[in-house]
């Protein structure tokens, strides 16, 4: 009987460690972070010329991808000069490889010259996307 509290203590400690590790691994989900990249020419990635674009990689089986689609649609509705390009990762794995997409959903912001300016994994906030796009619209 005396070993039961020890076992419970070990389980609680293991659970606490798992929570902390999980939190550390996902703390950047949805955070829009700047990138500096050259103009890209990726097969199957039809970036519009002369205007910024939000590109997000998704798949039919990806639940959070629907959330990204809603957020991006909302942002693009308020900023009609921004294009929305959705790329199905299953249908276009070459584009995903070229841009080093390792998880879904992954979202990029490209400027009017086709240079990658921002990237995020997970579901971004609409306000963060708008803030990232504002300097590109001037």
CATH class of residue range 31-136? alpha beta
pTM of structure: 0.74
Neighbours of 82 (CB within 10 A): 23
Task: Kindly give the parts of the chain with pLDDT less than 70.
Answer: 1, 22-34, 36-41, 43-44
Query: Which is it for the CA torsion 83, 111, 68, 100, positive or negative?
Result: positive
């Amino acid at each position: 009987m005396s070993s039961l509290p020890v076992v419970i203590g070990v389980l609680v400690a293991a659970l606490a460690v798992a929570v902390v590790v999980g939190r550390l691994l996902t703390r950047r989900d949805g955070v829009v972070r700047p990138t500096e990249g050259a103009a890209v020419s990726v097969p199957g990635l039809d970036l519009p010329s002369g205007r910024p674009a939000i590109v997000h990689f998704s798949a039919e089986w990806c639940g959070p991808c629907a959330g990204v689609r809603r957020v991006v649609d909302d942002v693009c509705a308020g900023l009609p000069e921004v294009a929305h390009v959705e790329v199905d990762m299953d249908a276009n794995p070459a584009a995903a490889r070229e841009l080093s997409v390792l998880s879904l959903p992954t979202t990029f912001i490209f400027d009017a010259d086709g240079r990658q300016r921002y990237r995020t994994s997970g579901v971004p906030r609409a306000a963060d996307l708008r803030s990232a796009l504002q300097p590109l619209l001037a």
